[in-house]
Structure 1
Amino acid sequence: MGIAVNGIEVSDLAIEQELPHHQDAANPLKQAVHEVVLRQVLLQEADRLGITGETDDARVEALFEREVKVPEVDEAACRRYYQSQIERFSSGALVEARHILFQVTPTVQLDLVRSTAELILAELQANPDRFDELARQYSNCPSGAVGGNLGQLARGQCVPEFEQLLFRMAPGELAGRLLETRFGLHIVQAMRRIEGEALPFEAVQAQISDELQRQSWQRALHQYLHILVGQADIEGVELEGADSPLVQ
């Protein structure tokens, strides 16, 4: 493929061997090429620094351990994160909700579905008492048979975009816009809300510290890879240092 790193050619065989690991990527071949090239950059840097290991993976890990330094997360940083994300560290929060689902399928025109959904939403904004009736008539969800009632939902029980909207709503509030998820378009109403109890900081401090440490590591690793890639003479492909599963 005419790809080289600092004058050393990257073989087609290496890319072919890497390709099966990236079949879920949007562009498997591109991802495989980037992975092989980035690994070559790292192994050459390990050679330059005299870093050895039983396998290439061991040498890369040793390189990271030596060159990527991340300060320990202190208690003050953990407490700030805890206060800013207090809802995440609460237990037992529940929201009773109902919805009307307008399912989108390959055989249905999205514009037509959206127009219908917007008309129903406008009707509910003017006449909220019709929710039960209209859910039974229009919803493509089994909950339509009970007026769209989904019961009490806790965090993690529905898709993220539905959860994010629902847990921001006040009791009785009808969302003023359609919510789009992989299931289709939703009209959403929050009914009763049961507030959760915040877990004490001490109970989640270790979890927060691990999460912040991991975020710091990923930032430092991205920066290190960008520097290495910027210094390398790479021919035949444009490569960004962070575009690799190595830094996920």
Structure 2
Amino acid sequence: MHSTTMDTSTADNIELSVNGVTIDAGAIVTELACHADKADASHAARLALVVRELLTQKAVENGILQKGAELDDGAIDHLLEMDCTTPTPSDEECRRYYTANAQKFSSPELVFARHILFALTKKSTMTKIRARAEQAHRELMQYPERFEALAAALSNCPSGQAGGNLGQLTQGESVPEFEAAIFGTTRTGLLPGLVNSRYGFHIVLVERRIPGTPLPYESVRESIGLYLSEHVRHKSIQQYLTLLVSGADVTGITLDVRPGPLLQ
């Protein structure tokens, strides 16, 4: 494969070609808009166009496309089905993955908690709100039996009228900063410090926890098979694109043909 090293500041002025086919400068400008968030948008755009042209040429060679026809998702899928066969993972492979990743296959942990929310408002400074929350927290450290009464009197959350009761919680139901304080630990009772979230300051009482229970292999066999198939397919496509590029005559871009970078 022939490639031309280029400075990114002048990359847009260098002609890009794949196996003698020149890629129009206008196509490069259009493709640039799709990669504006990349560190090197010019390189990303040129790489995408090179891969697309190689796939187009291969689809024509395999009789999937007529010469000059536009490459579409259907043609790409057909080409990859022909050239990138993905083996179906065996039951033994699925069981091995299940055993090695047992922590992924369990029912969610349940946490029963109460809280008192001191919400951030425009009328009070963060310092004053935190001070009120800390004062209430100190009181509860001494008199935890007062939690429900203080929740009713102080909380800015509707749950205050139910003694701060949040009911049964699983991960994904609350904001991440709140969940980080209550999940991934065995602690119960009044949390030792305030929990700071986007809504304000929380005093949190964890009443009890119900750990997740392992799911039987049979109930997750299908999802494991799909995951492993997709993983193998992704690697297969990486290797396929690497082979296409390594065997092509490409000018106007420097390419890394190690497995992996072409799909990034």
User: What is the TM-score normalised by the length of structure 2?
Assistant: 0.59
| Whole-angstrom CA distance in 1 between matches of 2:213 and 2:48 | 46
Q: Which amino acid aligns with 1:235?
A: G
The structural deviation recorded for 1:138 is: 7.2
Q: Compare 42-51 and 99-108 and name the one that shifted more.
A: 99-108
Counterpart for residue 242 of structure 1: 263
- What does residue range 135-214 of structure 1 map to in structure 2 within 5 Å? 141-144=157-160, 146-159=162-175, 162-163=178-179, 166-170=182-186, 172=188, 188-214=204-230
Residues 125 and 172 of structure 1: is their aligned pair in 2 closer, same or farther, counting only changes over 3 Å?
farther
CA contact (8 A) 2:56 2:71 kept: no
CA-to-aligned-CA distance 1:37-92 (integer Å, 9 cap, x gap): 42442432552572332451233223333443544323233224334554554447
Residues 136 and 13 of structure 1: is their aligned pair in 2 closer, same or farther, counting only changes over 3 Å?
farther
CA contact (8 A) 2:114 2:164 kept: yes
Within the alignment, does 1:56 sit opposite 2:71 as a pair?
yes
Q: Compare 9-18 and 143-152 and name the one that shifted more.
A: 9-18
Q: Which amino acid aligns with 1:81?
A: Y
The structural deviation recorded for 1:170 is: 1.9
Within the alignment, does 1:127 sit opposite 2:141 as a pair?
yes
| Whole-angstrom CA distance in 1 between matches of 2:235 and 2:120 | 38
Within the alignment, does 1:41 sit opposite 2:57 as a pair?
no
| Whole-angstrom CA distance in 2 between matches of 1:183 and 1:16 | 42
Q: Which amino acid aligns with 1:56?
A: L
| Whole-angstrom CA distance in 1 between matches of 2:42 and 2:84 | 24
Counterpart for residue 246 of structure 1: none
Q: How many residues align?
A: 237
Specify the structure having the higher radius of gyration (Cα).
2
Q: Which amino acid aligns with 2:71?
A: D
The structural deviation recorded for 1:234 is: 5.7
CA contact (8 A) 1:51 1:59 kept: no
User: What is the TM-score normalised by the length of structure 1?
Assistant: 0.62
Residues 116 and 184 of structure 1: is their aligned pair in 2 closer, same or farther, counting only changes over 3 Å?
closer
The structural deviation recorded for 1:195 is: 4.0
Unaligned segments of structure 2, at least 5 residues: 1-11
